[in-house]
Chain A
Amino acid sequence: MQDYARYDIKDFLADEAFCRWVLHQKPADNAFWENWVRNNPDRASIVITAKELISEIHHAQHYLSEDELQHELQRLSAARKSATEEMEYAESANDGVAPNWLSRFSLALGVLTCLVVLFYFYTNSPTNTSQSQISQESLKDEKNEKWIEVTNNESITKYIALPDGSSVKLSPESKLSYPAAFVKNEREVLLNGEAFFDVTKNPESPFKVYTSDVVTTVLGTSFTVKAFDQDKDVRVVVKTGRVTVAANAPQSKTQEPEKNELVLLPNQQVVYHRNEQKMKRSLIENPAQVGPADITSQNLVFEDAPVAKVFESLQKRYEVQIIYDADLMAGCQLTAELGQEPLFEKLGMICKAIQARYEVIDGQIVIHGSSCK
């Protein structure tokens, strides 16, 4: 039995049993401590302070917002589903030991290839004029295969079907190179100019679009890459799914590595500034609604609805992140009918009604509001 009567606040904080009581609130512990405080009334203030501090230290270490949590859980659940389907497919196709061994081998092969490619980019000096040629040639040489090159000299978009079933809409004055047949586990194409990609899903084989400055990697989704040699910046815009964009150029030592890779969600875009070699994530000018047309064509009707509900509906419709202080704005209510007007117009209307304002930070919408009292 500890001599709690001699404890100061530091001792209470360090004490395992005390900490367990504050955090877990088990009935047996409750009874013990209530009784102890009753018998030691002069120590009550220390106990209360220590208790409060522990729960504040607990709260101070929350770093995840509710929205982010839900988003990540949905993402995990979706990945789990496709993993299950994939596994069932693999099992029915092969039975037993082989697929595991095979997938490990192919993974190792994939990693090796990536390293070789990475190494190549690293060792090449970043002379801007010749770089796009160098990286494109290097890819082709390495594969030693037949590559098809399509250049669109006409004034209308050109439609290209890739060997894996993915489709590409190539803009005028743009050029796309791709292998006549994709080698297993590798889907890589080279782009000079602008194109919209609709990539067929294949979790085992990421689809990569190389341009002179950035590499865009996806598993199956649709997005646009715009990288004309004469432009100051390169742009990647996501329509559906999830896309990773990484800088292709060798980084200078001072740059932080994580700044050179960004994950994009629908309606987000990344702009790579060639001069500064920097990537910036933002929302596109007019985010589109995501989902089947019969749902997106319906108006959103709210009657004395809490703003949290309104924001939630918008988040679902546009698959964008809206960040706001739920506690602060708990008292805000809204009556409105939202139709087909652009997202930012909707946000403007809502913010006007609840006397708030919004801004777009790093591809997310942040609402600055008040308590509406």
Chain B
Amino acid sequence: MRKPTPVPEDEPHLGELWNRFRQHDEQAFDELAERRYRLLFNYATKFTKDTELIKDCIQDLFLELWYRRTRLTDTSYVTVYLICALRNNLLRKLKVNTRLDDSADIAVSCEGFTDNLTIETMLISSESMSQKEREIRNAINRLPKRQQEVIFLKFYEGLSNDEIAKVMEIERQTVSNFIYRAIAQLKNDLPSFSNVIPQIILVFFLKFLS
């Protein structure tokens, strides 16, 4: 069995870094970015597959924090704060881009924005993944956008339903509906999902027979 990589339990440390960087501590700022960059990048792929746009967005986010450091308040949960801030920035940026693109319906073109580049730009980073993980990734990418986002926040970062509701500005009940719907869909899409158990039983059986 593969050993799971737990999400680091460094939230208290993050709060400490947050307070130190508000006091102009440059090292604390760099460390904070280092500890949460990966999460923010991966989260942003739920909105757009344009990696350069994502990188610029995260860069802007952190620089803005640095500029505003003296005016920032204490926050109890830095990770959720960062996720919310990035989400707002991304949605704003995608909206501006679509407006320049001259299309009337933002929601529709946002979707178009995200889908076309998927395979091409994400190919390289998927090279080190197992076949099954690649299947899971593809199945997730076929889910509706908001379900993808819920799945990410829940299974990548391990946020609670309450926290997800806060980030996405939706009801807690809606979050849990999304989760159930997404899991059901994944189960349909992934042959390995439901096949595992019979296989294990079969192995047991064979052992008994031999």
A residues contacting B by CB (< 8 A) are 9-10, 13-14, 16, 19-20, 22-26, 45-46, 48-49, 51-65, 68-69, 72-73, 75-77, 79-81, 83-84, 87, 253, 256-258, 263, 323, 325-328, 366
Contact = CB atoms under 8 A, between A and B. Distances in A.
B191 interface: no
Q: Which of B4, B41, B132 has its CB near the most chain A CB atoms (within 10 A)?
A: B4
A258 B158 contact: no
A134 B33 CA distance: 45
Interface residues of B, number: 68
Contacts of A60: 129, 133-134, 136-137, 140
A80 B154 contact: no
A64 B39 CA distance: 9
Contact of A54 (B4, B9, B125, B180): B4
B30 A73 contact: yes
Nearest to A49: B196
Contacts of B129: 59-60, 62
B125 A16 contact: no
B23 interface: no
Contacts of A16: 160-161
Contacts, number: 156
B118 to A, nearest CB: 10
Contacts of A58: 4-5, 7, 155-156
Given A10-B184, A58-B155, A60-B137, A80 B63 contact: yes
B112 to A, nearest CB: 9
Given A58-B4, A325-B127, A80 B50 contact: no
Contact of A63 (B67, B100, B125): B125
Majority secondary structure, A binding face: helix
B180 A83 contact: no
Contacts of A323: 124
Given A16-B161, A20-B158, A60-B133, 14 more contacts: A16-B160, A23-B155, A26-B9, A45-B197, A46-B197, A48-B1, A59-B5, A61-B42, A62-B38, A63-B51, A64-B42, A68-B125, A69-B38, A323-B124
Q: Which of A16, A22, A53, A61 has its CB near the most chain B CB atoms (within 10 A)?
A: A61
B152 to A, nearest CB: 6
B26 A24 contact: no
Interface string B98-126: 00111000000000000011000010110
Given A24-B9, A76-B59, A13 B132 contact: no
B94 to A, nearest CB: 11
Nearest to B204: A45
Contact of B33 (A9, A20, A73, A84): A73
B120 to A, nearest CB: 9
Contact of B158 (A10, A19, A72, A73): A19
B37 A73 contact: yes
22 contacts: A22-B4, A23-B4, A23-B155, A24-B9, A24-B158, A52-B4, A54-B4, A56-B2, A56-B132, A57-B136, A57-B140, A60-B129, A61-B137, A62-B125, A64-B38, A64-B41, A69-B38, A72-B41, A76-B63, A257-B101, A258-B50, A323-B124
